[in-house]
Amino acid sequence: MKTIANQIIILLLLLNISFYSQNDSKSCCKKDFSVNEDEDHSCCYKTTDLSDEDEIDLFDRKSKPTISISYGAPNVDSKYFKSINSIKPVNIELKLGTLKQKDYYNSEDIIKSSFNYFLINNYSTYLIRDNNSVSNLKVDIWRFGFGVQSGFGYKINESFAIIPFTENSVTWSHVDFAYDSTIISNFENDYLKLFDKSFRFGISSEGGLKFRLINNLCFDFSFERHIIFQRVLFWKLSGSHLIEFASQSLLDNFIDRIFKSSPNAAPIVSFVLKNALSYGFNQLRTERMNWPFISASPLFIDQFKIGVNFIF
């Protein structure tokens, strides 16, 4: 029960971090412009009133119900067990949530997109016929969780838009390995047993491009890293993500200044910097799952994905 309680606390913490770090900033100045008409208030002018719309709400009436289906070719990896690279599963993923897209700041060409969702997916070697694994490793992982996707993009016309995005989620995964224990070493066997036939807490970061063809249909192409922890070490895990949260907050302030000075460049800059920071932290976590604190190496899954979104 204590472990479950810790995981619930961590879930709330990570969701708050994700929601806050991907939320856009409020207006930079007051609503009353009559004091000094010569001041530059361009950063305050918006095509829509965002004052009451910036809060992320899964049940916001202005958001649209959305179904996202994606396919990926994952690569399972671990610093402790390189033979696991031979596992080549496929991924089928379903996300159910709400999508909000709106004009942003003083440019009619910039759009803000927020997608909050529940996800379930399956990584499995049983979905394909060929398995050329040297150690005859097979895997079947069911994952579920919650996440938020956010990005700023460009409206080409009223229907078509290109939106670079950043995405974060917290997950639980049921891991099931099948392998010949006589082929792998005792150390590798013990390592797999840490995950095998059990639920494990994890996090995921993703970056990609979303193409809105019409108002009810989007396609996206992305790269995701999913990290599965051996166990939950509450204080180390919380400390690690608070460091990332502080870094994201500093970066958000920097990006907000770019929006005010060069709004047309900001979506690309935001996409590159935020995904680079997330990738950097997750790369450090491949050796220490609670970097910078001393901790074991996790199981991590990298994949390129293609998806389609149906917006209702």
Cβ(50)–Cβ(152) under 8 Å?
no
Dump pLDDT digits (tens) for 271-300. Answer: 999 999 999 999 999 989 999 999 988 999
pLDDT of residue 51: 36
Which stretches within 100-225 are classed as H helix? 186-193
Q: Give the model's confidence band at 30: pLDDT under 50 very low, under 70 low, under 90 confident, else very high.
A: very low
Chain-centroid distance, C-alpha 263: 24
Domain ranges across the chain = 2-14+57-231+296-311
Q: Decide if pLDDT at 198 tops 50.
A: yes
Report the C-alpha gap between 45 and 27 in whole angstroms: 8
Q: What is the CATH number of domain 2-14+57-231+296-311?
A: 2.40.160.20
Report the 10 Å Cβ neighbour count for 276. 12
Evaluate if residue 57 carries a pLDDT over 80. no
Confidence label for 193 from pLDDT (cuts 50, 70 and 90): confident
Tell me which DSSP letter residue 240 carries: H
CA atoms within 13 A on the CB side of 248: 25
Among 12-16, 109-113, 117-121, the minimum mean pLDDT is found in 12-16
User: Is the pLDDT reported for residue 183 higher than 80?
Assistant: no
Average pLDDT value for residue range 52-74: 74
pLDDT at 269 over 70: yes
Is the pTM higher than 0.85? The answer reads no
